[in-house]
Structure 1
Amino acid sequence: MAQFTFTNNTYAGEALAGFMASTLLEADSVKRGLLTVINDVKARKVILDVDDDVVLQNPSGIFTDQGTTAHQTESYLDPVVYEFMKQEQWDKLAQSWEAQALKPGAFMDYEGVVDLSDFMVQRYLTKIQIANERLYWLGKSATKEAAFTADFPGLLPSIAAASGVYKVGLSKPATSLAATAIDANGIVTVADTSTLADGDVVTITSLTGTSKDTTNGAPGITIQGQSYFIQIASATSFKLVRNYNEVNSRKPATFTGTATAATVNYINVSNVLQVLGSVYAQLDPADRIQEDFNLQIPLHVGYAYAQAQANKALNVINAFTDMKKMDYLGIPLQIMNHWQANTILGARSSNLFLGVDLLGDASELSTVYLKPYTNDNVVRMKARMKAAVNFKFANELFYLSA
């Protein structure tokens, strides 16, 4: 028969290394070293930015300053505290564990001791990590898991809004189409769909009309700035089938209202080599030669690049079966799994910051079984986290978006 225990645990202080730190520091981009982590950020932390030119002068026996003024600015890490709270019925939690403990295809008795508090933590850990990954990059407004009230703009929205960032748009003939209509079923009418294919991801901008996305219910959100997987409907139309932000929930997109004009922006197999070539040509040489410099791209752009490599590999055995190397002319391409569509960011990891406070009182993970105290046959879990993100030098960032 199954043996199990439930321990009332509160993980704080040093114990965070095993549990709480996992939720904050095992987000995908943190594990790959794409962000610089600063610990012990208890309140606003100032990051000093100092920059200056270099002037090579004539030799002189008397010291003569080069005559330039160092540019000093500040950026900030403003930590936000937020929580995940979950209550589950004891018997259903135990049932989940028992089903997982059985060997595949076997309905046998089993022996084993498990701490169900650990099991409850583990079943939500990956989802919390994904939520934090989205929060770090996309900000609260584009992270549907984020329901707290504090402001958390995220790295990509902050970079898009910052002055000094080298910004490039996709509103060019090779990467955009003019839409003349979007109906209430999500059918988009354009002049020609020959450069698009099923599964491409498009971003809608310059919208004229009342089209709204009701995937998550009425009244819906405007489709301006939203990205969608598409299916080709005809030579002059395609259907918006799933919002890119719903890739994990797999909800089909639904709409209300119509539009009379919009711009459809996209990076796909037809243009990805041209886009990457243009990006490469515009990168700052002083930044791109640094070891911690990366080009960060969403998953669909990585797929398009791999497919384009295979298409170009004429007379190469296994061109469509071998895994493709994700770099472009020697620059690493980092595939971002929970990111913004049709976006490319060029940045050094030493220029992007994540602030946490792992040993502070505001960071806590606890599980409590209430029956011994209230006779309620339920288990409660609370994970309280504290984080902040920002960048340092805006003029060292390259940002391409729709």
Structure 2
Amino acid sequence: MKRVVITGMGAITPLGNNVNDFWSGLTAGKSGAAPITHFDASQFRTQFACEVKNFDASHLLDKAELKRTDTFTQYALAAAGQAIADSGFDINKMDPFDAGVIWGTGQGGMETFEQQVSEYATGNGQPRFSPFFVPKMIPNMASGMISIRHGLMGINYTTVSACATSNTAIMDAFNYIRLGKAKVIVTGGSEAPVTPASVGGFSAMKAMSARNHAPQEASRPFDVERDGFVIGEGAGALILEEYEHAAQRGATIYAEVTGADMTADAYHMTATHPEGLGAAKAIERSLKEAGITIQQVDYINVHATSTPIGDLSEIQALSRITGSNTSPYISSTKSMTGHLLGAAGAIEAIASVKAIQHQVIPPTINTTVLDPAIPANMRIVTREAIDHPVKIAMSDTFGFGGHNGIVIFRKV
């Protein structure tokens, strides 16, 4: 099997529109939550989100291209462009069929779908859909546009596994390179779900926090007063590359991907397994593939979205692996970024890699009183970032439908 390394990263997030600003926001314990500006949410149960700020796609796309692309694709193009520039690989110096894109999104062009259907519904039933409706909306358009823009002619497709989506994409890229089917793959995910239908739908489920009086304090994973997640948006991109190919061209190597696995809970449409059975098995098999034990993991970027049931089921999964031993350090960066749904795993993979690069573990903010159901051996980093040696980091993601996705990164 080929070794697989990360040679580039790019990010569009509620904390900043590049990797450095994103990481600075995480380590400073900054919240990206604020009242929604994308639409009038005054009548909604939840009126705030972690929106991307000051994003301007006009420097990437001309006026015609802007009209032909949904926001989730624009976020993807921006993050992927950053990652490719960071990696420095030159498609003109390699076989373009050896470079591909495996991208993830949970909802795709939800914004476009809502706009077009709403215009049809209010237009006296006249079928006046835009000719760009379908290509703007379909989930695979981000991966297609990335390949078109950068001349990447190898494997190209999109994964969808709800909130585990980006880890699915990363795992697939890892496996294709290991098998020798590609040398470079742009992977990650993007999401633009701060729309009336998405916010309204999640609100109807009572899955989101309704702490409208204090949005910056709303995402509080593991806290006894948590009341739901905060929806977020953005994109994260990583360049996965065959180690020998990267070394030969003198690329900067941020980390190595050493293990990844997916399982299914086979339990419920939206709820995670209360005992964490599926998640625990995915963690166990990822560790086995990486050739390590849980005691060798220094940091886990947990899925923990700030929901009453979900946070505890993840703790149950980790407890099955650690037993009574002290856990690795744990933190949920969703306390700051909100939950980016299908893009969550991408920016959390970047956070994990940056923890390895800088030997710093970002905090879980807003967590003041831990849920008493959490065992004392769980080392949850709260309030402030800590300096700590990080050689191995793990990123956990779980999604509606019972999808569990785990990826492990190691310092090279």
Q: Does the pair score TM above 0.5? A: no
TM-score normalized by the length of structure 2: 0.26
Question: Which structure carries more helix by proportion?
Answer: 2
Q: Whose Rg is larger?
A: 1
Greater relative contact order, per chain length (Cα 8 Å cut-off, separation 6+): 1
